[in-house]
Amino acid sequence: MFTLAHLSDPHLAPLPAPEWSELIGKRITGYINWQRRRRFIHDRGVLDLLTADLKAQEFDHITVTGDIVNIAAMAEFPPGRVWLESLGDARAVSYVPGNHDIYVRAGARYAAREFGAYMSGDDDGGAPYLRRRGPVALIGVSSGVPTAWGMATGRIGAAQFAGLATLLDALKREQRMRVILVHHPPVSEAGWHKRLVDAEALKRVIAEHGAELVLHGHDHRAMLNWLEGPGGTHVPAVGVPSASAAPGVAKQAAAYNLYVIEGAPGAWRCEMIARGVTADGAVVEQKRMMLVA
């Protein structure tokens, strides 16, 4: 048995004071947005409650599917690293960047510096990265790119798709449980300004080369969509709410998932257990279902 934990979009609060020089362009609107609205949604106390509950469970590895920070101000990244370290060391925690981590171009540099050890493979630091853990192959795809004002889109790009296809084929031969980590959902009902622009290409790669599970964040909702896999198979794509979402304020309160993986090489079973924060500040099991059987 191997258990993966999945949380996403912590959007760490409080937002440290940005440098005045950083408050230009897209960051200004992000900063105003945070002060007016988002700071009431993303609650550090809720996040700490959720991660304390996670740590009381049995698990082997934690995945974090992006949006650790908010406007990619330099001062947000060191606390982001401290938070990642509070979950575990870089071998035990895998992260992929979200659009808020790469909110502006400088974010990519800060993320590489502070979060790099959590977003690199066993052998190298490129994307997609590959980590083998127990029966699982974690494939970290980056969809976080700087975007224009008002946009929260993601893009994976041709180079990563080529790498992803090669990895999926090789790991199929190893009969691994292939788990793709990506911030933006391949299927979403959210507005066009939030979409993964090359979602169709991602779905094509999965339809052709297969995967056992896709984990994502970004929409801040519990989501389950079935993607087409090779030979009439179906691949679950699962999203979780923001890990800091305050009950009664956010559309969906903070939650995380556990994926309990059992079975034999090439014939994996995976049960999903969702645990979330209630209005009275408890963390309870919300759902339990077989995803791969």
Binding site for Fe ion (CB under 5 A): 9, 67, 98-99, 218
Q: Compute the least distance from the CB of residue 100 to Fe ion, in Å.
A: 6
Q: Compute the least distance from the CB of residue 39 to Fe ion, in Å.
A: 14
Q: Compute the least distance from the CB of residue 242 to Fe ion, in Å.
A: 6
Tokens 């934990």 map to which residue? 5
Q: Compute the least distance from the CB of residue 58 to Fe ion, in Å.
A: 28
Distance CA 34, CA 13 (A): 10
Closer to Fe ion at the Cβ: 38 or 61?
38
Q: Compute the least distance from the CB of residue 277 to Fe ion, in Å.
A: 17
Q: Compute the least distance from the CB of residue 99 to Fe ion, in Å.
A: 4
**HEC per residue, the chain:** CEEEEEEECCCCCCCCCCCHHHCCCHHHHHHHHHHHHHHHHECHHHHHHHHHHHHCCCCCEEEECCCCCCCCCHHHHHHHHHHHHHHCCCCCEEECCCCCCCCCHHHHHHHHHHHHHHHCCCCCCCCCEEEEECCEEEEECCCCCCCCCCCCCECCCHHHHHHHHHHHHHHHHCCCEEEEECCCCCCCCCCHHHCECCHHHHHHHHHHHCCCEEEECCCCCCEEEEEECHHHCEEEEEECCECCECCCCCCCCCEEEEEEEEEECCEEEEEEEEEEECCCCCEEEEEEEEEEC
Closer to Fe ion at the Cβ: 9 or 212?
9
Number of C-beta neighbours around residue 203 at 10 A: 18
Closer to Fe ion at the Cβ: 96 or 137?
96
Closer to Fe ion at the Cβ: 91 or 193?
193
Q: Compute the least distance from the CB of residue 107 to Fe ion, in Å.
A: 12
Closer to Fe ion at the Cβ: 87 or 137?
87
Task: Report the candidate in 205, 210, 221, 175 with the shortest Cα–Cα distance to residue 65.
Answer: 221
Closer to Fe ion at the Cβ: 22 or 67?
67
Closer to Fe ion at the Cβ: 99 or 142?
99
The alpha carbon dihedral of 273, 3, 278, 95 has a sign of negative
Q: Compute the least distance from the CB of residue 88 to Fe ion, in Å.
A: 21
Closer to Fe ion at the Cβ: 67 or 198?
67
Distance CA 197, CA 194 (A): 9
